[in-house]
Structure formats: C-alpha cells, structure tokens
Amino acid sequence: MGRLFGTDGVRGVANADLTAELALGLSVAAAHVLAEAGTFAGHRPTAVVGRDPRASGEFLEAAVVAGLASAGVDVLRVGVLPTPAVAYLTGALGADLGVMLSASHNAMPDNGIKFFARGGHKLADELEDRIEQVYEQHRTGEPWDRPTGAGVGRVKEYDEGFDKYVAHLVAVLPNRLDGLRIVLDEAHGAASRVSPEAFARAGAEVVTIGAEPDGLNINDGCGSTHLDLLKAAVVEHGADLGIAHDGDADRCLAVDAAGREVDGDQILAVLALAMREAGTLRGNTVVATVMSNLGFKLAMEREGVDLVRTAVGDRYVLEAMKEQGYALGGEQSGHVIVLDHATTGDGTLTGLMLAARIAATGRSLADLAGVMERLPQVLVNVRDVDKSRVTTSAELSQAVAEAERELGATGRVLLRSSGTEPLVRVMVEAPDLEQAKSVASRLADVVKSALG
C-alpha cells in the first residue's frame, strides 16, 4: 500500500479513493494510536469534527464520527466551518483531536481528511505513519478492542463553534475596519457564513459573492483559484479591496480597487511591515518558500526584514516558524500563518489583518502592496524525464550556472523535481518577461536532453 497521508492529510476522489470504510477505519486507528501515545491518559477523550460543504462530506463526516465514537471518543460536531476554525476550536476547547473533512481548493468530487493534535497543531509525521500502520493491520483481519456500554463515545452538536471562532477573529484585530467596502469571494466553501460575519462585526461594509454553497458548487469558477469574478465585482461595487478564499478557507488572495491581483507574497510583505511596526514580528524575520517571488526577497532586504526560505509547502513554513519562534510566514498561493493567533494558515484572519492595515494607514491596497515589485516569473513543467538526476547532471548544472550569470542579481533560476509526477519544474525570474521566457525555454530544452 502506498502512503495514504500526503503533505495535507489524506485526499482522493470521494467514494472511489476516499470511501466511508476508509474514513471510519482511519478514525478508529487514530483514536487507538493517540491512546497508545498517552494523549488520552487519565480522562475521557474528546474530538472536534468539522467539514466543508461538499456533498460527500455528509457521509464522510458520519463515518468519521461513527469511527471515533465506536473507539470511545466523545465527539463535538461543529458542522461546516473552515479548516483553521476546526484547528482553533480543537485548541480552545481542550480537545484531544480535531478532524476536518475537506479537499481545500480541489474540485468538488474530491475530499480529504486532516487530523489535528491537541492544541490544534498538525499531527507529527510519525503519528500519521503509525495510524496508517494500525489501520492496515486491522483492515486485513485483526479485530479492534472496542468499548461497550457507557464506554462508547457520545456525539453532540456544538453550534457555539461558529460564534466562538468569529469572536476570536475579531478580537485579535489591531483596529476596526469602519469605512472600508470589501467584496468577499467565499468559493461556495467552508467560510461562506464565517467570513462575511467576521468582516461585518469588525466594521466593514461587506459585499459577498460565491457564498451560496449547495454541496456541488465549491471552487466552481470562483474563489482564490478563479479571481475574475472577484476582480469584476470589486470594480463594479467601487470597493476598497476584494478578498478570495479557497474551499476550506486556509488561503487568502486579494484584489485591489482597480481589480488587480495581490498575491500571497505581497500580502506577506504588507503584514511583515505592519507587524514590525507593532513590535510583533519576532526576530524581525518572515518565513517563505523557495517559490516566493524574487521581488519579495528584494523588498524585504530593502526594508531591513530578514527572510528564511523553506521547501515548498505550508507544513515546512510552519516547521521553520515553530523551531525558530517566528511569528509570520506563508506562501505565494495565499497560505499565510500568523502564529500568535492561529496554528495553521487562516484565510479569514489574513484578510482581516490586511484590511486592518488599510484602515489603520488610510493607504490603498495598491499603495501598500507596492512595497514589492513582482518580477516576471515563468514556470515550465518538463515531463517524462528522470527527475532523480536533476541535482547530479553536469550538463544541467553548467546550463543553470550560465543562466544565473546572464540574469545577475535581479534574476533567479530554480529547478525542482515534482513530488508526485515524473517531471521537473523549471522556474525563472527576471526583470523582463521575454528574458524570463527565453531562459526558461532554453533550460527546459537542456532538461529534456540531459534527463530524457
């Protein structure tokens, strides 16, 4: 069996790859592994379970709840809430485990299961590996040790989770949003109620689009992966800015008053300077991945903010932040982690903090985001090559060195093997788009000839 857990939980096509049986079995296995690890020692365990609005989430939630309760875990069902809300409530309620059913920005047929440990933090890799191992040994015949009578878990609806999370979001803002008109695109996803409520309570005039989930329309032509509707709505309503989330609302991208995209790098840059001014940017450092735009690095250097770069993936950003005690990190895709107020990327919190900076300074989003110039970035995927040799090919190393000399200090080359497909990603940044395209095309040809 291949590894079930990826970088962001277990994902697949619901009812094909991710079945009710798998969801139930993994939940039982998780309960047993956490009991084995001592997490439940001395008390009756509790889990928080939430989901996004996908139709498949209804039966998968039922399977997860059944699995946990059958293993003696009491369950608080919080219903449709963002992933960061489930993480927050797991910590705030002192629960032993959190479970979120979502496939984030993926299309509607997919779904996923993500587990959170006590405190709302992602499960350690070794615990995920152990859950898989235990699941597999019981799937192939070994019976579970099951409680009976009063030992079975009890299931309760926890409707207060919505208000508790929204109140938390509004309470951590440095200032109110009065006077701002904001368009919110909720991707017909998990934040369709939460985000408009939070922005309105914080004082903003709110216009919502993509906030009518029917179980089938999540991420469908809207949200952070499809910004055209938001750009048009911001201009139409004369709004100060637009905020777009993905299906589980752990991402945030923005649109300025003229309908131009403001990506995760630019949002990070704005928040870094705001937090430094407030004295909350610990270590005077922001954490980003190797895929962050070179313009972000140059802007942080100019502003005197240190930058730590990690491998691609918000889990690596989070690991670096925790290890070094940094307060802010994120990705170009809009995963932004503000560790003082969230244990994971939180799109609603990110949007609120961005809006708060606009309200506090009286400056437009375009003006604030102008702290960094996004350099043209060209990405070419070279398929059907031996990606294992990307770091050992002398021919490729020589071609990269030549490209780097040509680009100088204001350009960058990054070659990266895909973690899931037989391909190599060639990324080139340069002050001029045509130069970036030319260098990327040339390097892609070398990758094909050297690794083909």
> What is the β-pairing status of strands 74-80 and 46-51?
parallel
Query: Can you tell me the distance from the alpha carbon of 245 to that of 247, in angstroms, rounded to the nearest whole number?
Result: 7
Please choose, from the candidates 9, 84, 56, 50, the residue with its C-alpha nearest in 3D space to the C-alpha of residue 251.
84
Which residue in 435, 432, 397 sits closest to 415, CA to CA? Answer: 397
246 is in an annotated binding site: yes
Q: Are 34 and 96 in contact (CB under 8 A)?
A: yes
CA 135 and chain centroid, separation: 26
| CA–CA distance, 417 with 414 (Å, rounded to integer) | 10
CB 287 within 8 A of CB 390: no
**DSSP helix/strand/coil, 99:** strand
Q: Indicate if 56 belongs to the active site.
A: no
Residue type for position 397: S
110 is in an annotated binding site: no
Q: Which residues pair with 338 in a beta bridge?
A: 328
Give the active site residue among 27, 56, 102, 104: 104
Best CA proximity match to 9, nearest among 164, 131, 94, 165: 131
Annotated ligand binding at 104? The verdict is yes
Contacts 24+ apart (CB under 8 A), 361-365: 364/240, 364/256, 364/257, 365/240, 365/241, 365/254, 365/256, 365/257, 365/262
As separate numbers, helices (DSSP H) first and strands (DSSP E) second, the chain gives 14, 18
Q: Is 397 annotated as a binding residue?
A: no
Residue 175's CB is within 10 A of a number of other CB atoms, namely 13
Query: CA torsion sign, 52 to 100 to 338 to 311?
Result: negative
Token pair in block for residue 259: 């309908």
Name the 3-class secondary structure at 347. helix
Which of 204, 205, 202, 194 has the alpha carbon at shortest distance from 175? 202
- Yes or no: say if 151 and 61 are a contact pair by the CB < 8 Å rule: no
Q: Token digits for 12?
A: 């697949």
Q: Which two tokens stand for residue 266?
A: 């630019």
Q: Which residues have C-beta within 8 Å of that of residue 422, sequence separation ≥ 6?
A: 383, 384, 385, 387
Q: Give the phi and the psi of residue 53 in degrees, each rounded to 5.
A: -80, 5
With beta carbons less than 8 A apart as the criterion, state whether 357 and 401 touch. Answer: no
Q: Give 6's DSSP letter.
A: B
Token readout for 433 is: 């788009």
The residues that are catalytic are: 104
Question: What residues form the annotated binding site for Mg(2+)?
Answer: 104, 246, 248, 250
